[in-house]
Amino acid sequence: MEANVNVRDFEAAAKAVLDPVHFDYFASGAQDELTVRANEAAFRRLALVPRILRGHKPPRLGRTVLGSQASMPIMIAPTAFHRLAHPDGERASVRAAAEAGVIMIAAMLATVAIEDMADEARKVAEEPVLWFQLYLQPDLGFTEAIVRRAEAAGCTALVVTVDSPALGRNERGDRNDFHDLPPGIRCENLRESGGSVRGVVLSPEISWRHLDWLRGITRLPIVLKGVLHPADAELAQRRGIDAIIVSNHGGRQLDGTPPAVDRLRVIADVVGGELPLLVDGGIRRGTDVVKTLALGATAAAIGRPVLWGLAAGGEDGVARVLDLLRIELLNALTLCGCDSVESVPRDLVIQGAM
Ligand SMILES: Cc1cc2nc3c(=O)[nH]c(=O)nc-3n(C[C@H](O)[C@H](O)[C@H](O)COP(=O)(O)O)c2cc1C
Ligand SMILES: CC(C)CC(=O)C(=O)O
C-alpha cells in the first residue's frame, strides 16, 4: 500500500487486481465518456495563485457540513456495489471513513445493509457520520420504508440523486454484458424485494412533488445530488432543500454534460452563501479540492478513488487514499497561504490551462 503515493497509483493497482469487467464498471461512463474525461480535464484548466508571507500556523482542515463535523472537506460520494471491489465491500469503506472522520454517503445500492454499515462505523468511531443516498422510487411505500431504515440506522442526511430519470447508456457494460451482480452479492438495502439491482426503478416521472412528499415524511436534511443548472439550484433553495451536490454523476448519466467544477462556479454565483454547495467529479488531488473550495464548495466528494483504494487494499487501501488526499490538501493549503479551509479566497483560482 505504501508504494502507492497518489490516487493515480491506486487506479493502476486496482486495475491490476480487479476482474476487467468490474474495473470497467467502476471506470466507465456513459457513451463516449466525454464527461468522464472532462471532469478531470477541467481541473487542469484552473490555476492556483498562492499568496506569500502570510505567517500562519499549519492550516486547519476540519469542516462542519450540514451540522456534521468532518475532519476535512473531503467526503465519500455514494457508489454502488463495493463488494465487487473487495469481499468486505462497504464494511471496509465505512470503517476507513469513520476512522478518518470523513463523511460517507452510503449508496442505496450498497452490497452491505445500511444497518450493518452503521454498526461497523461505530466500532471504530464514537460519532461516525453516515448519510444515505436515495433513488426516489415511484413506489412511495417502498421509498418510505427505506428512509425509515436509514433514519433508524442513524444516518444524518438524505442525499436524493436527481440526475437519473433513466439509466445512462453504458457501452462498456453492454460490451461486457454486465447487467447484474454475480451470485452471492446483492443489494442488501433491497433485500425485501429480492436484492436484485433490476428491482430499482429510475423513472422520468419523479418530480419536485416527490421532494415535497419526502420533506413531509422526514426531518432529516435533504441534499439534492446531480444539480447542474443554476435555475434548478434556485428552485431547490426555494423548496427548502438543505444542500446540493453539483455533479454529473461522474459522467455516467448524460454524456456531454459540462464538468462539475465548472458548474460549481456558475451555481455558486447564484445561490452561493445561501445554500451549502458540495461537488463531485474528477477530484484526484488535494489541489483539486482547494480549487473547489475557492469556487464556493463547502466540501468535495470522491467516487472512484475510494473504489480503487478498496480494490487495491480493502479497508487499508481506502484509509490510505483518504490519508494521501489529506496530506495533499494540507500541503496545498499551506503552499497557497491559507490557514484553514474556511479561508480559501475566490481569487486563489484563475482560468489557466496547464
Ligand atoms: C461505480 C460507480 C457507482 C456509482 N453509483 C452511484 C449510486 O449508486 N448513486 C449515486 O447517486 N451516484 C453513484 N455514482 C456517482 C458518484 O456518486 C459520483 O457522483 C461520481 O463517482 C463522482 O465522480 P468521480 O468518480 O470522478 O469522483 C457512482 C459512481 C461510480 C463510479
Ligand atoms: C446501478 C446504477 C444505478 C448505479 C449507479 O448510479 C452508477 O453505476 O452510476
Residues 78-95: tens digit of each pLDDT: 999 999 999 999 999 999
Residues in CB range of 340: below 8 A, 6 or more apart: 59, 60, 61, 333
- Ligand number nearest CA of 303 is 1
Q: Which parts of the chain register pLDDT below 70?
A: none
Catalytic residue among 22, 82, 210, 249: 249
Q: Which residues are within 8 A (CB) of 209 and not within 5 positions of it... i.e. 6 or more apart?
A: none
Quote the pLDDT of residue 192: 83
State if pTM tops 0.90: yes
pLDDT of residue 194: 87
Burial 16-31 (b: 16+ CB within 10 A, else e): eebeeebbbbbbbbbb
Ligand 2 pocket member 80 (CB < 6 A): yes
User: Per residue in 82-100, is it b (16+ CB within 10 Å) or e — as a string?
Assistant: bbbbbebbbbbbbbbbbbb
Per-residue model confidence (pLDDT) at position 145? 97
User: What ranges do the domains of the chain cover?
Assistant: 7-337+347-351
- Residue to mutate, 36, 206, 248, 249, ligand 2, most ligand atoms under 8 Å from C-beta: 249
pLDDT at residue 354, as a whole number:
78
Residue whose C-alpha is closest to residue 155's, from 213, 198, 218, 229: 218
- Nearest ligand to the CA atom of 107: 1
Catalytic residue at 210? no
- What spacing in Å lies between the alpha carbon of 54 and ligand 1's midpoint? 38
| Ligand 2 pocket check for 109: Cβ under 6 Å | yes
Give SS3 for 246: strand
Q: Which ligand is nearest to the CA of 281?
A: 1
Nearest Cα to Cα of residue 10 among 250, 279, 304: 304
What is the CATH class of 7-337+347-351? Answer: alpha beta
Residue 179 C-alpha to ligand 2 middle, in angstroms?
Answer: 11
Determine contact, residues 112/83, Cβ cutoff 8 Å: yes
Q: List residues near ligand 1 (CB under 6 A).
A: 25-26, 39, 77-80, 107, 109, 133, 161, 225, 247, 249-250, 252, 280-283, 302-304, 307
> What ipTM was assigned to the predicted interfaces of this complex?
0.99
Instruction: Give the residue from 136, 351, 243 showing the smallest Cα distance to 147.
Output: 136
Atom number of ligand 1 nearest to Cα 284: 27
* Contacts of 183 by beta carbon, 8 Å cutoff, 6+ apart: none
